[in-house]
Structure 1
Amino acid sequence: MEVESIDNKVAFGVVIDERDGMSRSVHGVPLEPGFFHVGLDGSIQDNALVHVPVVGEIETVQQAIGSHLAWPKDMIIYTSSTGSVKKKNAQNVSEVPRMHNVFNFVKPKDNVPHRFRLLYKFASTVMKGSGNSIPVPFDFQIFGIERTIYLLHENVLELLEFKMIGQPAISTYMAYLYSVFRDTP
């Protein structure tokens, strides 16, 4: 099977040029020869395993969305901003450029904090298009019952746009505060 086959494409993102001032390490681990520092923007195959996992945190492509990874250089297919492929003999790559262009088309509102713009794009495209949500598990000690609340793309966008937020965002923040207090010595 050729590397350029659509069957092998698992994600899309941006190669971080080390000249941009980014570290030569990812998650505290130095990049091995033959690997690039990559920011993962979206998933094509959610359950595909990543090449250099962060054990217990980032082991699949879906878990890596919005994070940075070490990715093998020979498993990267470059496209221009117009979606044209820059690697020789690449075929059937229309899905990756299409998804990347949709993702890059989203322009966060001016009041969205800079460090949350990737999350804004993710919620506006991947979450909205797929109907996926972010599960937030709650311990029994928080509300007296064990449960999971699901953040929808609307909840994320409301929060990032500084609009009136609803119960899922407030409950998620309460769970976060609880975990901070619980884990503080």
Structure 2
Amino acid sequence: MGARDVLMEDKGSCSVKNQVNQAKMEENDHEDVQIWSKADAVQLLHGVPLPKNCYRVSIDVVVEESAPLPFPIANECEVVGDALGTHVSWPQHLIVEQDKKPQKKYLAPPKERHDVSPGVPMSLHMMYCYSKHALGKGRFISLRLDREVFDDDCVILLHYEDIDGLYHVGPISSNCVIAYIWYLYKKMLGDNKEGKFRFVNPHRISDMGETTHDKKRKLERLNQRASALADRLSSASVDQLVLAPCNIGYHWILTVIQPYKDVIYVLDSLSHRIRVDDWKHVVEISLVLTGGEDRR
């Protein structure tokens, strides 16, 4: 039987004649065996009954002569090379008819993977994976901050959308900023550095969508923001830095104030300068309320 008459697999194959059907041998545990053959379903082999569920196979071509036979013939054939040109027993389950396609093995769908995005801390990645599975259908994480963080009672509710925006570097909510402030405060406690900084609650000083259509209402809100900032400035000690994260309208900036040294730093991640007249007004009014001079 020639090579062009045989349907070949990656590994070797073996063809079988079962009545009128052509068949081939599947890849088996003897991965080094690659043979072509013919077989029939007679019940005797060398005068001995075939083993159960086996075919009589004639071996025509051998690739790996030292491969052991599934059913060796005592004192005659122990390996495939010994059986060249003769007949041996071959397990039926290792033979597939050529007019039938081999049944494909079922492959379970791959499990969803959560690869860590470049630059994302593992702790944030773990929080993201947890929230993705646990914070559905309106569920949330409730966090009660230490009163010392803002000198006030503060409880925030973190939803999946909050964590998703932080993880994928999207819009960041005030709740995420507050949760991070709480984390920083805990770190400072461990390092005995909490006395060097004073945090301002961004909920109380951020732009809440004031519109110019109602100038009176806008001015009232600006003054409320200035009063909240002034409360934190007035309670700061001489050596403390006041950290005031503020959303000025779809963008976060950080203002660092040294109230006793007439110094104000505005940290903005945007490379271009943007007009923040409302926030400038809030800071200036807060300094006036605390009795300080105008500062830049």
Higher RCO (CA-CA < 8 Å; seq separation 6+): 1
TM-score normalised to the size of structure 1?
0.38
In our comparison, the structure showing a higher alpha carbon Rg is: 2
Of Structure 1 and Structure 2, the greater helix share is in 1
